[in-house]
Amino acid sequence: MNENRIRKLVIVGGGTAGWMAAASFAHYFANNGLEVTLVESSEIGTVGVGEATIPAIRDFFHSLELDDFEVMRATQGTCKLGIEFKDWSRVGESFFHPFGVFGSPARDVPFHHYWLKLRKLGDGAAYDEYSLAVALARQNHFTRPDPAPRSALSIFDWALHFDAGLFAHFLRDYAIRRGVRRLDRKVVAVNLRPADGFIESLTLEGGERLAGELFIDATGFRGVLIEGALHTGYENWTRWLPCDRAVAIPCARIGELTPYTRATALEAGWQWRIPLQHRVGNGYVYCSQFLGDDAAAATLLGNLEGERLADPNFLRFTTGHRRKFWNRNCVAIGLAAGFLEPLESTSISLIETGIEKLRRLFPDRSFNPALADEFNRSSTLEFERLRDFLIFHYKATSRADSPLWRECHAMKIPDTLEHKMRLFRTRGFLVRYEWETFSDPSWMALYTGFGYLPEDYDPLADYFDVDDLRRTLAGMRQNIAATVALTPTHVEFIAKHCAAPDLPMIRPRLTA
């Protein structure tokens, strides 16, 4: 065993990021002699939002040997097939970004070229009519994908909505059962080693010193270690993603228990709706240049579907990321690392990949800089890819009814996104970079949802006779409709598999 190995890991912060990291390191390093201490301050609290995820969250559960349903029961969780984007391309129009594929490719030609060909010939079926996940979502149905690759049910994926506070508690219990030491104390000073500026210890309220070898900064927007002590610097992306505020208000559920998140574009930003078993999470993400806090809260209150269950929670943020995610012996995870607005529910997935990268690149006490360099290189790319994906939503809109949308439509975008858009526009070619979170079907959902379509399709799509092609595509649509008819509603699915022990919202509705 390497005598230089790290023995003391200190995590500062007990939000989603801190407890996900604690749970993961406690699990993976169980027999490695790694002592994990987590310091959090109940006086400061957590950000209190972050309830919609992407399918990667389920890989995280499985990595901890947790069952999806166990987590859902503990967190008032619901199923998520994707996101409905309402009023984004134009007011009155909506489309889905589902987790799953559209149609099937043939002869190495992606499906969308066949669809484009028939569209050019005047056929009217929308692209999302070839997605099982969209068909399930539209009918508020849900079932789990079938792992058998040839099954009609193998072509989609799913994620969760959960109560962020309950999720952190669930992971806290998991981590503490595996030996993580928890201190409810405020960090009041970070003590650096004079020789090289590495973090040596933390001073806690009351004067106690807590020494460590590797530190994870999970202190949220504060970035107490990575910025407060190490002055790492921040890459600001507000010029592309100008929203810098949010207000969140949970409410009682009146509407359907939808198996999807809804993001509705508004005049100065957009509103989320996240259905949980016991309530609905709502928030308005907006641009302070065009809207004040009171007006944003009033708009959100006016849009709530049921009785409000808490006071408005106002949040301020700057989109971007730390210049280094790993600086000296400190690794930032979660909001301390950077922020991208929750339009595609990606922050928690960035926490997962941050934890996974650190696990794979875990240093010893010599802290070989190659490890940090790779962590920083890959994390920067991952953030940039997601940034481009988000920017596309603002750039591709045809809305011109308010200053925000007009400015976004006219803005100069990053070269990486411009290259992608140009190649797609010309011939339907999908560019895939290293460290993309979202793959081709997700880009296709956006391109078609915003009506950003190519001038031409792949000539190889001309291989099939047009009537045969029409019959095949009609068959795909029929298969989807037949499959959906066999599935339960979302409410029935939850009641059967993963209802939380106290179900004030779901039981009456089931019998209604």
412, two tokens: 């100069």
Question: Which of 8, 44, 191, 309 touches ligand FAD by CB under 6 A?
Answer: 44
Beta strand 94-98 pairing with 209-211: unpaired
To which residue do tokens 């391109």 refer? 447
Residues numbered 147 to 176 that lie near ligand FAD (CB under 6 A) are 164
Residue 37 interacts with ligand FAD (CB under 6 A): yes or no: no
Residues 115, 189: Cα–Cα separation, whole Å: 60
Beta carbon of residue 479, minimum distance to ligand FAD (angstroms, whole number): 32
| Closest to ligand FAD by CB, 296 or 444 | 296
| Closest to ligand FAD by CB, 348 or 396 | 348
Residue 49 interacts with ligand FAD (CB under 6 A): yes or no: yes
Question: Which of 52, 386, 421, 445 touches ligand FAD by CB under 6 A?
Answer: 52
Beta carbon of residue 219, minimum distance to ligand FAD (angstroms, whole number): 4
Residue 82 interacts with ligand FAD (CB under 6 A): yes or no: no
Residue 259 interacts with ligand FAD (CB under 6 A): yes or no: no
Residue 39 interacts with ligand FAD (CB under 6 A): yes or no: yes
CA dist 223 → 229, 233, 380, 443 (Å): 9, 11, 17, 32
Residue numbers annotated as active site: 80
Residue 391 interacts with ligand FAD (CB under 6 A): yes or no: no
Residues 337, 18: Cα–Cα separation, whole Å: 12
Residue 335: name the closest of 226, 412, 415 by CA. 226
Residues numbered 306 to 345 that lie near ligand FAD (CB under 6 A) are 315, 317, 334-336, 342, 345
| Closest to ligand FAD by CB, 36 or 218 | 218
Residue 224 interacts with ligand FAD (CB under 6 A): yes or no: yes
Do residues 274 and 312 touch, judged by C-beta distance below 8 A? no
Question: Which of 6, 10, 11, 15 touches ligand FAD by CB under 6 A?
Answer: 15
Beta carbon of residue 4, minimum distance to ligand FAD (angstroms, whole number): 29
Residues 25, 31: Cα–Cα separation, whole Å: 11
| Closest to ligand FAD by CB, 114 or 317 | 317
Question: Which of 10, 13, 391, 399 touches ligand FAD by CB under 6 A?
Answer: 13
Do residues 226 and 336 touch, judged by C-beta distance below 8 A? yes
Beta strand 313-316 pairing with 245-248: antiparallel
Beta strand 330-332 pairing with 326-327: antiparallel
Question: Which of 46, 380, 397, 483 touches ligand FAD by CB under 6 A?
Answer: 46
Helices (H), 335-400: 347-360, 369-395
Beta carbon of residue 443, minimum distance to ligand FAD (angstroms, whole number): 20
159, two tokens: 């994620």
Question: Which of 250, 283, 320, 354 touches ligand FAD by CB under 6 A?
Answer: 283
CA dist 431 → 144, 176, 233, 450 (Å): 30, 44, 31, 18
Q: Which residues pair with 126 in a beta bridge?
A: none
What is the three-state SS of 153-182? CCCECCEEECCHHHHHHHHHHHHHHCCCEE
Residue 199 interacts with ligand FAD (CB under 6 A): yes or no: no
Burial class (CB in 10 A: 0-12, 13-18, 19+), 511: exposed
Residue 133 interacts with ligand FAD (CB under 6 A): yes or no: no
Question: Which of 10, 17, 135, 249 touches ligand FAD by CB under 6 A?
Answer: 17
Residue 243 interacts with ligand FAD (CB under 6 A): yes or no: no
Q: Which helix (H) or strand (E) holds 472?
A: helix 466-485
What residues make contact with ligand FAD under the rule CB under 6 A?
12-18, 39-41, 44-47, 49-53, 164, 186-187, 218-220, 222, 224, 246, 248, 283, 315, 317, 334-336, 342, 345, 347-348, 351
